[in-house]
Amino acid sequence: MLNNNDNQTNTKIKLEEVELNPERKIFENKLRRMSSKEDINHYFETINEVKVLGWENKLFESKLPIRDLTNITDPDILSEEISDFKTMRIIRGDIDRTRVQESIYMTSFKEYLYQLIIYYIKKNKISYKQGLNEIAGPFILLKYKLKLSFTRIYKLLVCFIDKFLTNYFSEKEFFSLQSSFGLINLLLQYHDTELFRRFEYALISPDLYATSWIMTLFANKCELNVIYYLWDKLILFDDTLFPLFFITAYLILNRDKFFVEDYSVILTELSQMHIDTIKEVNEILDFANEIRDKTPNSFYLLANKLEIFNYDSQNLQILYEKFKPNLMLAMPIFPTDIFCITHKNIIRCPDVNCENFKTEKFNTFSKCLYCRNREVKKKISFIIIDIRIFDNEIYNNELIDKKEDILLSDIFPGFLPKTIRITSEQLNSDEFPKNILKDYTDEKEKYHFIIITSDTKNYFEYDHKFYKFANKKKSIKGVLFKRTRKLDNKKIEETFGDNKNKKEYFLLKEFDYFKKLIDEMNLEKFKYVSFAYGGYKDIHSFAMKFNIDLLEHGKKCLLCEEEEREKKEKNRKNSGLLAFKFW
Ligand SMILES: [Zn+2]
Ligand SMILES: [Zn+2]
């Protein structure tokens, strides 16, 4: 499978094995001395050819088709040049700070690292980003130890980056990195709400502490033995999102450091954190695995939708703006995943493209990420909190509009099993949301709470930072909403409500309940809180598409009617287009 071109003649820098050997000996002795007496901190010593072959197998099997890795030779790598003086200087400067401890024992370390980096950025047509030096450094050291060819080291590096850092280095802007920060926040909020709130209060966001953790996969924070050990585990776990679970686990295990009186020291604490021993890595890995098991599959679905690890993605910015991972108020749950939880005998896998998605005969040997982890997942029981406003307000309005003799139960869009339905009365009460949460204070770490609203997708279209309730001004029929937003640098104030735009009015009202509920749950340290992304609208349409029964689904259901209308509208538009084309 490997195409080793160990042709080392005609290179700008000559690889002289005679010179290398004494260097290697000093280097290894040095590492041995560095290792602490406790636990197994001699990991670098144990890395041998077999280990590297194992890594190659694991990384190559899934990643090889992405980029063309054929026809690469050592002379190619060693003779690469760049003309941009500024970039050259930046790279040299970074290299001077890379693994200084270990590299001083090898005179050629800097030159080799430099060549590997510039070959990587030129071959992949990307500009240099800091962090690449830290990722490539350990690979150069490995080259010394095992006398590997540059070509092999280069391929290993490419596949390693493609697996865990796909778009971070290649993307011009930083949308995939921003998305990852959003994902870290979601994990932290889901697993340790108190710590999440602590950071929010102190205005500490992941970009302030996790950038180097992500971009270097902890290489700039760890001693060499530790970093090889950690990377070995990452490769074996074969999960692109694992570094994010690892970071979350790392934060939670160190949480005591952040609950100090002085907020200003938190950031210092974060920047000074480092992992010293393999024992520590193991503790974090164990906990990260536990966190992963308790995280809903939708976390992976979201990462897939954001295409962070899709090398070919052209849509990183569009997707980032569509899903706004940094603005999501809790962990989103997608309809496929919801039905996996509520109707697990019908929907077997949250991935619609999986052979096991909706099946009688489950293929246990499936290679699918979700199916593979199905048995492992530690199940948390779920409770659905449904805060749709429909019982009185929307219904009565609809009924009045229709002026027909229709029963409420006929137009009811239904609901899911194990749902607590919150009435308008409860929502409008001054006690909301305390009145509904008080029954669950003892269960807040035992249950996975799924909040359902009508249609969350629209929420994120409102710039909710600028949106405000004018709740004191009650109109005759309901509440007026005020929203200020910026348009061409001018502030415009919009007031709407009543029947002017009924749909928007109800959605905004619901959004406010939704925010209040999430805030209160955060405050009361409820763990495992999520919301149905796309709201009941998407749940309903998913159920219709795959013939799943919803409870009390009315014969003339409002949503079915709405879908029908939308379909007609779509057909009308399409046929219009066709007619136009025809002409
Ligand atoms: Zn599957
Ligand atoms: Zn329906």
| pLDDT tens for each residue of 323-337 | 888 888 899 999 999
Whether pLDDT at 388 is above 50: yes
Whether pLDDT at 249 is above 90: yes
Q: In this predicted structure, what is the pLDDT of residue 489?
A: 67
Whether pLDDT at 286 is above 70: yes
Confirm if 224 and 102 have CB atoms less than 8 A apart. Answer: yes
Q: Exposed, middle or buried: residue 131 (CB in 10 Å: 0-12, 13-18, 19+)?
A: buried
Q: In what order do the strands lie in the sheet with 467-474?
A: 467-474, 479-487, 490-497
Q: In this predicted structure, what is the pLDDT of residue 473?
A: 39
Could you please report the per-residue DSSP string of 490-541?
EEEEEEEETTTTHHHHHHHHHHHHHHHHHHHHHHTT--SEEEETTHHHHHHH
Instruction: Find the mean pLDDT for residues 289-293.
Output: 92
* Ligand 1 center–CA 466 separation, angstroms: 41
3-state secondary structure 385-442: EECCCCCCHHHHHHHHHHCCCCCHHHHCCCECCCEEECCHHHHHCCCCCHHHHHHHHH
* Ligand 1 center–CA 351 separation, angstroms: 6
Q: In this predicted structure, what is the pLDDT of residue 180?
A: 95
Return the SS3 of 296.
coil
pTM: 0.85
* Ligand 1 center–CA 352 separation, angstroms: 8
- Who wins on pLDDT, 142 or 483? 142
Instruction: Find the mean pLDDT for residues 123-128.
Output: 90
Return the SS3 of 353.
coil
* Ligand 1 center–CA 376 separation, angstroms: 14
Question: In angstroms, rounded to a whole number, what is the distance separating the alpha carbons of residues 300 and 351?
Answer: 10
Q: In this predicted structure, what is the pLDDT of residue 575?
A: 67
Q: In this predicted structure, what is the pLDDT of residue 401?
A: 58
User: If you average pLDDT over each of 140-149, 377-386, 568-577, which comes out highest?
Assistant: 140-149
* Ligand 1 center–CA 211 separation, angstroms: 32
* Ligand 1 center–CA 375 separation, angstroms: 12
Number of the ligand closest to the Cα of 557: 2
Whether pLDDT at 496 is above 60: no
**pLDDT confidence of 20, banded at 50, 70, 90?**
very low
- The percent of residues in the chain predicted with pLDDT above 70, rounded, is 78
* Ligand 1 center–CA 296 separation, angstroms: 14
Question: In angstroms, rounded to a whole number, what is the distance separating the alpha carbons of residues 144 and 556?
Answer: 73
Question: In angstroms, rounded to a whole number, what is the distance separating the alpha carbons of residues 221 and 579?
Answer: 63
* Ligand 1 center–CA 358 separation, angstroms: 10
Return the SS3 of 310.
coil
Q: In this predicted structure, what is the pLDDT of residue 133?
A: 94
Instruction: Find the mean pLDDT for residues 207-231.
Output: 93
Question: In angstroms, rounded to a whole number, what is the distance separating the alpha carbons of residues 583 and 360?
Answer: 49
Number of the ligand closest to the Cα of 541: 2
Instruction: Find the mean pLDDT for residues 344-364.
Output: 89
Q: How far is CA 294 from CA 7, 184, 287, 291, 302, in A?
A: 50, 15, 11, 5, 16
Which residue type is seen at 520?
E
Whether pLDDT at 43 is above 70: yes
Question: In angstroms, rounded to a whole number, what is the distance separating the alpha carbons of residues 457 and 452?
Answer: 12
Lowest mean pLDDT among 119-133, 230-244, 457-471: 457-471
pLDDT digits (tens, 9 = 90+) for 250-269: 999 999 999 988 888 999 99
**For the chain, which domains are there?**
17-166 (1.10.8), 175-323 (1.10.472.80), 331-556 (no CATH)
* Ligand 2 center–CA 565 separation, angstroms: 12
Q: In this predicted structure, what is the pLDDT of residue 511?
A: 84
